[in-house]
Structure 1
Amino acid sequence: MERVRNYEPLQDDSASTATYIPRDVGGRAPTRSGTVKQVQLKAGNFVVDQPVSKHVLLHATETQGEEFTHMRYTACTSEPGEFNGSYTLRQKQFKRYTKVALVITMYNEPDILFAKSMFAVMRNIAYLCSDQCTYSWGPDGWKNFVVVIVSDGRSKINPKVLTLLGVMGCYADGLAKSMVNGKDVKSHIFEYTTQVAIDKELYPRNDAKSPTTPMQVIFVLKEKNAKKINSHRWFFNAICDVLQPEVTFLLDVGTVPSKNSFYSLYRAFERAPNVGGACGEIKAELGSGWKNLINPLVATQNFEYKMSNILDKPLESVFGYISVLPGAFSAYRYKALQGAPLDTYFRGEEMHGGADIFAANMYLAEDRILCFELVTKSGDKWLLRYVKDASAETDVPDRLAELISQRRRWLNGSFFASIHAVWNWQKIFRSGHSTGRKYALLLEFFYNAINLLFTWFSLANFYLAFYFLFDVSDDRVDGGPFGGASDGIFQALRLLYAFAIVAIFISSMGNRPQGSKLLYHSLVGLFTTVMILMLYVGIKAVVNGIQYAVHDIDETHTTFTKYFFKTPAFRDLVVSLCSTYGLYVFASLAHFDAWHMLTCCVQYLMLLPVYVNIFQIYAFTNLHDVSWGTKGDNAPDLGAVVTKVDASGKHVVEVTMPLTEDDLDDAYEVFARQLTKQREEINNKEKSTINAATQQEDGFRQFRTRVVLMWIVSNALLVVIFTNDYLKGKWFSNAPGAVSPYLTFLFWSVAVLSFVRFTASMAYLYGHYQLKIGERKGGRGNGIDPEMGEVH
């Protein structure tokens, strides 16, 4: 692991200008030494203001003022909750009001992803301050926006990211220390207002042709790796406690918001004072010319994201409770988070690997817990909203093993968090919502409970759909869909289906997807084949059903409507297809966002059984795994700061730092050379390291075993009841062409749930366009606004 640069004495360290040689970091090695300087402690804290190189300000629009000419370093020895009592930040000294504080959390992401996100952030701030913005903050609006970068562990950060921060003027080697007066440093905080933007090709964009709006940056480099939720603790309990921002934004490295997304999100809070949180549309990164859609995994995730943003997020927004605001791109009103929401949220920091396995799985999706606590906060009436105009692209897994691992955490976290929310539905009555809003939220909880039940039985439901589809089509069509071979093909497929399920269970128990790639890819191929045959049989059944209908209508002189309602098999199949895929098409067209229906729908249909079977089985059989990939730290020691008393009686420390203009320029050139080297390597793919699996307690595995057994037994019982020939003949009609009542129940349940989703989506859309029309006219719009939940 490449290390943060440290200094060692070369020869005489007794002189006032001792010469030091830097340890190499990522190939960086300055040619000039630093200078030892006595620095007076500020309120007992080690805080250093270091000048920046003239290259940082070469084409800057703002060059006067300490925030542009100097970077500040603070060695923080306190915990996040004690930060405000011991330290301060520049914004507080400048007496600035912070409208938005944005946090970008990092671990070891590559420099390209970091550059993409930061460039997009600077573009958004520039838009907020420009005349193009409808409600512009003005040319000095950047003073109300603070960007906080929190990196999870000094030994874990990608050294190439430090290079980018160094070119921007937000980081310098050699200042950081590991100990101050016997106290361990918890985090290293760098503050600077930069005007250097670096694009995704790693080219600095601070040239005269591209002037950049200043951006206030606070870079928090945590000494130890302590998970993402701890990074959020530093942001909320330390930085925000000092800044007291109006709204907080959350962004992941690699997520790229569109240029007006921050404006759209912030306007959601401006319009309605009871909006406690909001999120925009998360899009899969498709690449230039949508080339990433060549990969079917990317295409299916793109389709999944699109339909969620068209149907599910608008539905939840209309009710006022979005079950999860994506941590990759979301916003919260800081005042709304105070108290119970944040306190409950940060319990998750101690849950992973704790004794309560249910809570540990639940807190894999701690953002869901935060949303629930926010809406049900005692005495308050906070709502959560979806903002269609705010969008951001994010990179999605493009390999099967990575996607399976990701969905393990997503599925387990969302499942147990959903159980928690549904089980604690009565907490809505402790809130300050109106009676009408409370009953609307109760209706949403009921809707979520039904979806949770369907999720539990999805394994059996998919198999039953497969079974009944072949069974009914074999009765309805002469010779079956494959002629005389229909029965043989069906029996073979049933055996292959059963084998695939058993194989997934066996491979998921203790094996990583990365170690069983061939098996998983084979199973994907098998399930894709099954899905293709299911679609063929379904389409053929509908076509033959229409042909039979035309023939029967001609023979009996009845109407198509009467035939439709008196033929259960044909009726239920048509209703199910229309309520699902017809809904997808119509809703997408209504939202003026339908390209995914042409480019991704087929891939999504092909891989649908993979989502239902492989992803869910792997997730449930790994309930005991609640790890987040936290590793130990082996970062090199940076040296200690020890207070001395000078001749005048002041408490000072000696620190090595570049003071002359040549020192600063040399240090900057080191970063610039390294950035050029990184730019040349931009197309080289880096191999990821494999982490050793952590051993889990026996209690976790026992919990996993009980849940999986309950899941298997309940799903298997459902399959046995509705596929056993004896039970079918005893309880249900076994006549040719008869439809199982459970299949009818499934089809019509899908239709009812789809109708609810569609109605809410259209209600949201109506409110959204009413709002836009109102703002174009210079007002806030009239009538009921489903998007904001207010009456104007």
Structure 2
Amino acid sequence: MSQVTLHDAPPVPAMPYAFQPDYPPMQQRPPVLRQPSAGYSAAREKLMKRRSVRHVELQQGNLVLDVQVPTHIVPAGNTSEEMNKMRYTAATCDPDEFMRRKYTLRPYLYGRQTELFIVMTMYNEDEVLFVRTMNSVIKNVAHLCSRTRSKTWGPDGWKKVVVCVVSDGRNKVNKRTLQVLSLMGCYQEGIAKDSVAGKDVTAHIFEFTSNVMVSEKGEVSTGGCPVQIVFCLKEQNKKKLNSHRWFFNAFGPLIKPNVCVLLDVGTKPTGTSIYELWKCFDKHVNVGGACGEICVEAGRGCGLLLMSPLAASQNFEYKMSNILDKPLESVFGYISVLPGAFSAYRYKALQNGPDGRGPLASYFKGETMHGGGADGAGLFERNMYLAEDRILCFEIVTKKREGWILKYVKSAKAATDVPTTVPEFISQRRRWLNGSLFASIHATIFFWRIWTSGQNFFRKIVLQIEFIYNAVQLLFTWTSLANFYLAFFFLVSSATADSQNDPFKFLSNGAGKDVFEVFLKLYIGLLFVIIVCSLGNRPQGSKWTYSISMILFGLCNVITLWCAGYTIYLALPHTVAGWKDLPHLIETNATIRELVISIAATYGLYFISSFMHLEPWHMFTSFIQYMFLLPSYVNILMMYAMCNLHDVTWGTKGDNGSSKDLGGAKKVKGEDGKEVMEVELPTQREDVDQLWAAARSSLQQKPPEMKEHRDAATKQADHDRNSRTNVVLAWVGTNIAMIVVFTSNAFLNWVHEHVENMTDANFNPYLSFLFFALAGLSAIRFVGSLLYLIFRLFGF
């Protein structure tokens, strides 16, 4: 059979084959060639040298090749084209022009109706992260095929699922990840071309229906069901938004799916998570987007959480967000962010209107904003589009003439790795915090768009309440630096004011005031250190400074909590008789009224809501680590983010060149006088099988440890730095003004003269307001979480 065939299939061809998941018996399969001495490089070089020139006709003016896959991965007795041949398309256009240039994909040619279109985006992730995600997706597809009683799914359910892998830059992709794809039949060396008829190739598209699973060690096994895979290898590194534009704008109009699922390579959905997401869309026709629970990959026996305080604190943060925040927002119908690492959208809800405006147009607007501001976008807008997923959520809910809502699906879970080093953690949160801050400001300013959307009147009222709640949260986020300092200042100073009830008298008499002075100066000094480092140094260059600062801020919080606990201990009755008239006790004792109730309402609700959701374990494995690092979330992460507003990069440097090392396809005259493309292709099936075996052997060997070499940061424009300075001055000025006012003698004297409760030395009106406000916000989150469980119980 020829290595290259013309693909002139009709739009809806018949499917002459049946699904056969079994592999041929070992005696029928060609022997696996193991040549450790030759290695993968030698096998590749041999294949490249033995290529021969072929003449191939263009299809609709495009270069499309169908080539034989390695014998080892072809199911027994299956002669169908999609499981015997890999389809390669050399795209020479922008993603938006893909369909207009008459490019096609196999699911379109086969006339299949696609329910789920899953995209996995990657940059340079290694084979371990890729296999983790890909194998999880395959298991999810197999679960869909196992649902024999479903009207939509069943044994042929795999035909309704397309998995798209988009890799950002041919020169950036991990070579061992390519070897995994080649073992699956979704990639082959020696096929791709740099140019077609003088036009540069923008993306190499490989299509194959694979029936295998590959481990990170090269072990090949059956996947349980076939999976339609589209592997798009972009020639240049143009970042994640461009990868999603290939998915939504190039492939989406051809595939026309019902639901699109977004995954980052490294995220591991559980075995039924994708089905649970899909079921939400199938059950609720007004759901435009949904997300599941992203949890921390804790390792065996929660080893990572116990060994790494940084990972444990993030685990607590993720868990409480999924217990309190996401359920509350789901009840309202607007989730501020559906995480790009694991979320799903109804394809119809994403479409732009007739005027070209809409969710996708707004989503991809950020792609052109991070190249120096040539499009006239200001720093505010470019930071806002660092959180493009938040913009997409806002655009879906406020879409004109349509009433879409967003939902949280608790039963859909996915595990992901979190940063375990301080520099990684700070760098990641810089983009998250800046993007979310400005996207939240944008949503708050344009809240009126809910009233021009297609939502019903009741939903508009509910959404208006949520936007007011979000505005209050935004205010507390903006003033968090001052609030945290003031809480430290008032709690410790009031607790140490009376030498008779000094919480540190176990050190010496009157030691409390000395402890307060030392830690007050330490706190202020650390703030200045963080400001200096944030303005001038990368986290990678100041690793130890940031790490030590985190520890010292943690000690400050330990002192604060000790003083708060000791104050509560003194305020509580120490006899049974003292508890008999509890209402009178609360009315007369300001400490119990403000401090005890507010802390119980905040942290007590953490425990109650966690037990309500039947997920309390993070309270025992991660709560202490989170409390220790909580000051760093405010004082270090926020400070670094605000001081680096001018940096609107995504952390990867764009690769705008091409290696030109693949060879081109040239137009020539064929024997019949027609124009054909002259290409070099592998001609020996033996060479393809040898390279497959070499890739398998290569993956079985542990790769050498490579140290990361980071590119120098790109110099930012002067006006960006000026804008950064102005925002930092406004933010720091606001917080310093609050600190100066509320710690000044004038304010304290005014309080003594005008506030009746000042007979209690531990009473402070601002601290009372702060604690009650936080308790109120926690109560709202708790009610939302409770309502979510009730609605979920009744199927809403």
TM-score norm. by structure 1 comes to: 0.90
CA distance in 2, matches of 1:741, 1:215: 63
- How far does the alpha carbon of each residue in 1:675-700 deviate from its partner, in whole angstroms, 9 at most, with x for none? 223xx33xx64322212111001111
Q: Please point out which of 698, 707, 710 is paired with 2:727.
A: 707
Query: Corresponding residue for 1:408?
Result: 430
Query: Where do 1:7-406 residues align within 5 Å?
Result: 29-32=44-47, 33-57=50-74, 60=75, 63-85=78-100, 86-131=102-147, 137-206=153-222, 211-293=223-305, 294-339=307-352, 340-352=358-370, 353-354=372-373, 355-406=377-428
How far 1:539 moved relative to its partner?
A: 1.4
Superposed CA deviations along residues 760-779 of structure 1, whole A, max 9, x for unmatched, are: 101101121222xxxxxxxx
- In structure 1, the residue matched to 2:709 is 689
For 2:623, the aligned partner's letter is C
Q: Which residue of 2 aligns with 1:776?
A: none
My pick for the range that moved more, 524-533 or 117-126, is 524-533
User: 1-side partners of 2:764 and 2:108: how far apart?
Assistant: 69
Q: Give the structure 2 partner of residue 743 of structure 1.
A: 767
State whether structure 2 residue 666 is matched by structure 1 residue 636. no
> Structure 2: which 5+ residue stretches go unaligned?
1-37, 353-357
The C-alpha deviation readout for 1:232-281, integer Å capped at 9, x for no partner, is 00100001111111110000000000000010000000001110000000
In structure 1, what residue type is equivalent to 2:729? L
Q: How does 1:642-791 map to 2 (within 5 A)?
A: 642-677=666-701, 680-681=702-703, 685-732=705-752, 733=755, 735=759, 737-771=761-795, 785=796
Asked if structure 2 preserves the Cα contact closer than 8 Å seen for 1:112 and 1:202, the reply is no
Check conservation: 2:478, 2:731, Cα contact below 8 A. yes
Paired amino acid for 1:302: N
* CA positional deviation for 1:634: 5.0
| Percent of matched pairs sharing the same residue | 46
Q: Could you tell me which amino acid in structure 1 is paired with residue 733 of structure 2?
A: V
Q: CA deviation at 1:283?
A: 0.5
**1:402 CA displacement:** 0.5
- Give the drift of 1:756: 0.8
CA distance in 2, matches of 1:258, 1:558: 51
3-state SS of 1:163 partner? helix
Deviation at 1:477, TM superposition (A): 7.3
Residues 659 and 558 of structure 1: CA distance in aligned 2, closer, same or farther (over 3 Å): closer
**Aligned partner letter, 1:52:** V
Separation of aligned partners in 1, 2:155 and 2:232: 27
Distance 1:656 1:571, change over 3 A: same
| Aligned mates of 1:395, 1:499 — CA distance in 2 | 33
After superposition, residues 596-615 of structure 1 pair within 5 angstroms as 596-615=618-637
Write the distance in 1 (CA, Å) between the matches of 2:598 and 2:96: 54
Task: Give 1:331 deviation, angstroms.
Answer: 0.3
How far, CA to CA, are the matches of 1:135 and 1:547 in structure 2? Answer: 64
| Equivalent in the alignment of 1:504 | 530
Q: 1:493 is matched with which residue?
A: 519
The worse-fitting range, judged by mean Cα deviation, of 463-472 and 65-74 is 463-472
CA distance in 1, matches of 2:425, 2:792: 33
Matches of 2:39 and 2:58 in 1, distance apart?
Answer: 28
Q: Which residue of 2 aligns with 1:546?
A: 572
Question: Contact between 2:169 and 2:655, CA under 8 Å: does it hold in 1?
Answer: no
Q: What is the letter of the counterpart of residue 175 of structure 1? A: I
Q: Could you say what secondary structure the match of 1:718 adopts?
A: helix
Output one character per residue of 1:626-680: Cα deviation in whole Å (capped at 9) or x when no partner.
Answer: 0112233554212221111212122212222233432332232232232223xx3
Conservation of the 8 A alpha-carbon contact between 1:50 and 1:657:
no
Contact 2:43 2:687 in 1 (8 A): no
Structure 1 pair 285/263, CA: closer, same or farther in 2 (3 Å)?
same
Amino acid of the residue matched to residue 248 of structure 1? Answer: C
Separation in structure 1 between the aligned mates of residue 42 and residue 474 of structure 2, nearest angstrom? 52
Aligned residue for 2:410, secondary structure, equals strand
What is the identity, as a one-letter code, of the residue corresponding to 1:493? F
Q: Following the alignment from structure 1 to structure 2, what is the Cα–Cα distance between the partners of residues 569 and 469?
A: 11
1:399-434 Cα shifts (integer Å, max 9, x gaps)? 011100111000000000000000000000111111
Alpha-carbon contact 2:195-2:663 (below 8 Å) kept: yes
Gaps of 5+ in 1: 1-22, 772-784, 786-792
**Partners of 1:615 and 1:735 in 2: how far apart?**
39
Using the alignment, how far apart are the partners of 1:711 and 1:312 within structure 2?
25
C-alpha change, 1:405 and 1:467, in structure 2 (3 Å) is same
Alpha-carbon separation, structure 2, partners of 1:141 and 1:546: 63
- In structure 1, give the amino acid aligned to 2:90: A
Aligned residues: 736
User: Where in structure 2 are the equivalents of 1:524-603 lying within 5 Å?
Assistant: 524-547=550-573, 550=575, 559-603=581-625
**Would you say the 8 A contact 1:61–1:212 is kept in 2?**
no
Aligned residue identity for 1:40 = E
**Comparing 381-390 with 131-140, which one deviates more in the overlay?**
131-140
**Structure 1 residues 722 and 135: CA distance shift in structure 2, 3 A:** farther
Contact residue 219 and residue 696 of structure 2 kept, 8 A: no
Give CA-to-partner distance per residue, 1:368-396, whole Å, 9 cap, x none. 00000000001100000000000000110
User: Tell me, what secondary structure is at the counterpart of 1:212?
Assistant: strand
| Contact 1:62-1:68 within 8 A present in 2 as well | no
Q: Which moved more, 1:666-675 or 1:528-537?
A: 666-675
Q: What is the rounded CA distance, in whole Å, between the counterparts of 1:565 and 1:134 in structure 2?
A: 60
Instruction: Return the alpha-carbon distance in structure 2 between the equivalents of residues 422 and 25 of structure 1.
Output: 55
| TM superposition shift of 1:593 | 0.5
Distance in 2 (alpha carbons) for counterparts of 1:657 and 1:414:
48
Partner-residue secondary structure (3-state), 2:454: coil
